[in-house]
Structure 1
Amino acid sequence: MDRAKLLYRLGMRRAKERMLNDFGNGFWEEFKANADGWMQEILPRVPDIGNSVFRTSYDMCPSYIAWYKSLMAMGFSSEEAGEELWVMSEDLLKLIPKRLLKVPMKGYMAGFRDDAALHEQRGKAGKLHPYDWQIVFTDQDDDHFEIDITECAMMKLSKDFDALGMFPAVCRIDFLAANIMESGFSRTKTLADGDDCCNCMYEVGGTCEWNPERGFTDRK
C-alpha cells in the first residue's frame, strides 16, 4: 500500500492551497480530518491484487473513496463530490511535466498494449485476483486497440465502503488522464452507467478532449 499512501499524500498536498482559497481554512481542516480518518480505515482492508496492468488505478481508489466519503459527510451531493474529484485529479496529474510525456508516450502505450493482452490471458486462465479487472483485449492496428472491461476492481473495492455513488464520475477521469498524457481515448459504454462493459478505445499519438461542460452522454 506504499504507492496508495504516496498518491494520497500528493493529492492532499496539491489540493490544500486551492481548497484554502476556494473554501477557507475551516473547510480544509474538516476535509483533511475526515479523509485521513477514512484512509486509516480503508488501507488495512484493501486486498493486494498483485502486479496488475491497472495497478495505478487500483492504488488511486482508496484516495477517491476517502475524498468522496469526506465530501459527502460535509454536505456535498454525489454530483458535487464527483466534480471535486475531477479537480483534485487534474491538480494531481498536472504534477507530470508535459515535456516528459511527449517522447515516452508511444513506448508507454506499446507496453500497456502488450500487458493488456497478457492480462486478458491471465484472466481466462483464472490467474487474476478476484478483485482485479476482467477484460477483453482487441488489437486493431498499429495505432489502435480496445480494452473492454467486464469487471471493474475499483467498483468492487468502492462497494466495500459504500462509495459506489462516486461512479460514474470517477470513470470520466480517464478522459482527463488521456488529455493530459496526450493520448487518444474514447468510450461509449461503462459498467457504472449500467452497460455490459466499459469499451475503452485507445489511439497511440491521438488526442482526447477534456471538457466536462460538454457532458458525457456520448463519451462515457
Structure 2
Amino acid sequence: MTLAFIRHGQTNWNFEYRLQGSTDIPLNDTGRQQARDAVATLDGVNWDAIVSSPLSRARETASIIADGLGIELGPTYDELVERHYGDAEGATAEIIAERWPDHNYPGLEPRESVVARGAAALERVHADYGDRNTLIVCHGTLIRYTLSALAGREFDQIRNGSVATFDRIGDGWRVLSVNDEPVTELPVAEVPVG
C-alpha cells in the first residue's frame, strides 16, 4: 500500500502570507493550476482513490486531481483539518512579528495534537482502503509534522500542490518522498500510528 499526502493548492491567504490554519479559505486560480499540475507528478503509480480534509481548499484540490487521474473521490476526514492557530489565523507575517514574535499564539493547537490527528487519519484511511493506493489531500503543517514523526527527522515547509509519498511496512510507515523529491536512507518509523 502506497499513500501520498498532497498539500492543497494556493489560496489568496497563502499568496498574501496570511496564517490560514483551520479557517476555510478557497483555492485561487493558481491553486487550481497547482492541482492540475500535481496530476503529472502522480502519473506512473496506479492510484485507486483520493480523500481529503473537509476544508474547501483541500476538497477542491482533491476533486481536480480525481478528475485528472480518473479515480474515485472518496470521503473527507475531520482529522485532516489543518492545525488551529488560534488568534493568529488571518494575521500577516508582519502582524505575527509584532504581536507574537515567539509564535506562541493564544489558542494554538499543540504540535502533539496535530501529529496524533495525522496518525489517526492514516489509520482510518488504511482501515477504509486496505491495500489500495490512496491519495490524501490536506494541509502543510499537518503533513510536515506527521511526516517528521514518521521519519524521525524534521522536514521543511511543504509546498502548495506538492506530493509526499510513503508506504506501509508491517506496523510502521516509510517515507519515500517529500515535496516531489525522493527521500533516501530513512528507516521505517517506529512511531506508533494508532
Q: Same fold (TM over 0.5)?
A: no
Larger radius of gyration: 1
> TM-score scaled by structure 1?
0.28
Which has a greater percent of strand?
A: 2
Which has a greater percent of helix?
A: 1
The one of the two structures with greater contact order (alpha-carbon pairs below 8 A, sep at least 6) is 2
> TM-score scaled by structure 2?
0.31
